Amino acid sequence: MAEIHLKNVSRRWHNFTAVDDLTLQIPDREFLVLLGPSGCGKSTTMRMIAGLEDVSSGEIWMGGKLMNHLEPKDRDVSMVFQSYGLYPNMTVYENIRFPLKIRGIPASEHKQRVMKAAEMVELTPFLDRRPAALSGGQRQRVALARAIVREPNCFLMDEPLSNLDAKLRVSTRAQIANLHHALKTTTIYVTHDQVEAMTLADRVVVMKGGIAQQVGKPMEIYDRPANTFVASFIGSPAMNLIDGDIADGTFSNPYLTVSGLPHAARGPVTLGFRAEDVSVVSEGGNLSAPVYSVENLGDSTMFAIKGAHDDLISLKADKTARMAIGETVHAHVPAAACHVFDRESGLRID
């Protein structure tokens, strides 16, 4: 069992708080992603779970045991970092076997366990090579195999795909998803990449300034962001966020009016809507503004239009859509696709 429970965990350095009163219940077998921009405290959180960093206050429980004062080696977690941390003078086989030697696993079990781990990440043909003779993707797979071979209670992965090129990142990401499906080991995964979070996670914790902004399944967070920070961090392109005023269920600003919003709020708000929810119409619609940029993506066309106050708004149109820069585009933003946030606090208004 590797249920992990963080109770009011904080990490402070002098008067700076890197992680602020974080409470999380991570069920056994869950794939939890800590997502946020650089400096939001996600690595610190993971390092506290690993035992590499002290907790300033709060408690970390794993499998019903208090971990706060246990050494990293006694926590039964395996870590995978973005720098692979391989031993250059050892072969792939020896690198994968190393944790078994350290932990005193009987030598008679080594070969079978190394071969199984190597097979899971398709490294069998490379077992005699040294890390220098491997590609970046292969090295990261050695690091994964070395984590797997111990059969730990929990995997902790800190930006494991960051050093890979775009194509390898996609294939290694799929491999990590597949490994989790096969092993069902509780995994905590740190990234600043919302695509990794959306594609890998059972649940995502979106962090900012050491504080969890929202915890939920990827689609819950995508469909109902708790605040403007989460709304702008999840999804590509980012959600359009436009300032205006709301009264009697109608949002308005100089270039956009949306009626029929089921909100009783009055006053200054931020309206959110996603590029894919806007349809370009030949005339009319509730949004008109000049085209600022056009990007043909192959399967679709992205337009950015520029409203008053230099607001840039993304619209996703059919791949055949044609529009010239400077031309006025008419579009329809449906009320049902809109999110309303308090302008001052950024919090979602339901």
Q: For binding to ligand ATP (CB under 6 A), which residues are involved?
A: 13, 16, 18, 36, 38-44, 192
Shortest distance, position 9 Cβ to ligand ATP, whole Å:
12
Q: Which residue is nearest to ligand ATP (CB)?
A: 43
What is the three-class DSSP state of 312?
strand
* Minimum gap (Å) between residue 22 Cβ and ligand ATP: 11
Closer residue to ligand ATP (CB): 121 or 206: 206
How many CB atoms are located within 10 Å of the residue 212 CB? 22
- 83 vs 257, which CB is nearer to ligand ATP? 83
161 vs 228: CA distance, rounded Å: 27
CB atoms near residue 49 (< 10 Å): 26
Do β-strands 154-158 and 77-81 pair in parallel, antiparallel, or remain unpaired?
parallel
For residues 77 and 152, the answer to whether their CB atoms sit within 8 Å is: yes
Report residue 86: phi and psi, to 5°: -90, 155
To ligand ATP, the closest distance from the beta carbon of 303 in angstroms equals: 32
- Please tell me the total number of residues recorded for the chain in this structure: 350
- Closer CB to ligand ATP, residue 19 or residue 280? 19
Give the span between the Cα atoms of 252 and 250, in whole angstroms. Answer: 6
User: DSSP string of 190-229?
Assistant: EES-HHHHHHH-SEEEEEETTEEEEEE-HHHHHHS-SBHH
55: nearest Cα among 190, 63, 46, 109 = 46
CB of 41 to ligand ATP, least distance (A): 4
Shortest Å, Cβ 191 to ligand ATP: 8
Residues with Cβ < 8 Å from 167, sequence gap 6 or more? none
Cβ closer to ligand ATP: 36 or 51?
Answer: 36
Q: What 8-state DSSP symbol labels residue 2?
A: -
Q: How far is the CB of 159 from ligand ATP (least distance, A)?
A: 7
Residue 95 CB, nearest approach to ligand ATP (Å): 25
